Chain A
């Protein structure tokens, strides 16, 4: 059971960042995962009053506040027009509407959960995270860094992807993905991300020319096999290592059929 000793609704990013310097201070996002932990939290910081719940659009990017909910990115028409509905597809299987009304984009990313559908999709879209103290960090770099305690202000998605698609397999409708795949076409590169392996999403970039050549020469199966072999897989209660590798080949093939 979770026990909170002090609950602070931060009035400013400065206040939240200051509180985070104290040991064991936790930011409360949707609180769904925090609540599952058996521990005492000396100070819980609520950032819901910081105005980080907006999605804005510029000529070159979408900026998504860290307190934006999964339901907001699911139902944002302009964002999903750009992303060919891949963002909505990625989150619509996450529990239910009530859960997605409070689970946040920030919480989905900073937890760095292996099963995350958000990370897989945002990694394919080459998202950049904007931290209050640490500044801007590309998501692909963030995932390889050691954990640090900072206030995530927003996530930006550049309008570079010409096409993107998201695929996943779940054992039942609201469960975690057994495996998820997102593929984006950015300029002459395909950004292929495989997540829930069950480890955290991993990105591989390949040239679009190679993919098109494989398609022309009817060698897509061999081509996909070689890509799927670049990821590592493990077993857990949702699926074996071998099943996941098989799923990766199937989902990458389906994604490429859409993109190419």
Chain B
């Protein structure tokens, strides 16, 4: 079936298999930041923004994204880099596998709520699993990033 998706600002037309997931679609078009993690809608490594809203691309049919905007980390590189630096400074990126999903979901959080409390950050990012850290490093990194914006 034929679909057309605005992927990071570029219209991609493709003929896909009906059961293709959005994760497989974006990776096949070079967006390798989107990770194939648990494949059971649990880990958040496959997070993308669909019309600005964070979703799990491993469980989202590419066919449903037809006519919509999909953003991966590659599409918000400057923003991602500035947040990522603060997370790295806290030693919280380690293996790095969860980072793209983590940062993309952080971007979604800050667009929805520019001044989150620590509890609001925890609640929003609870669906992003990290097997290296204890999550406090990421929280400190995001807090430092937010503090830097206020200076």
Contacts and interface: CB of A to CB of B under 8 A. Distances in A.
A206 interface: no
B53 A32 contact: no
A101 B108 CA distance: 12
A5 to B, nearest CB: 6
B63 A96 contact: no
Given A96-B128, A174-B126, A7 B40 contact: no
Contact of A46 (B53, B64, B125): B64
Interface string A2-38: 1111110100000000000000000010111001100
B61 interface: yes
B53 A35 contact: no
Contact of A35 (B44, B59, B63, B126): B59
A28 B123 CA distance: 27
**Interface-central residue, B21, B55, B124, B125, by most chain A CB under 10 Å:** B55
Nearest to B122: A173
Given A98-B44, A98-B54, A101-B55, A9 B126 contact: no
Contact of A30 (B40, B59, B108): B59
**Interface footprint category on B:** 20 to 34
Interface in A130-177: 173-174
Interface in B64-85: 64, 66
Interface string B117-131: 000000111111000
A7 B19 CA distance: 7
B42 interface: yes
Nearest to B46: A98
Interface in B84-138: 105, 108-109, 123-128
A260 interface: no
B10 to A, nearest CB: 23
Interface of B: 1, 18-19, 21, 40-42, 44, 47, 53-56, 58-61, 63-64, 66, 105, 108-109, 123-128
Interface of A: 2-7, 9, 28, 30-32, 35-36, 41, 44, 46, 48, 92, 95-99, 101-102, 173-174
Given A5-B18, A95-B127, A98-B44, 14 more contacts: A4-B19, A4-B61, A9-B63, A9-B66, A28-B61, A31-B60, A96-B128, A97-B54, A97-B109, A97-B127, A98-B54, A98-B127, A99-B127, A101-B53
27 contacts: A3-B19, A4-B19, A4-B61, A7-B1, A7-B61, A7-B63, A9-B63, A28-B64, A30-B59, A31-B61, A35-B21, A35-B41, A36-B40, A44-B18, A44-B61, A92-B123, A95-B42, A96-B105, A96-B126, A98-B44, A98-B54, A98-B56, A98-B105, A99-B42, A99-B127, A101-B54, A102-B56
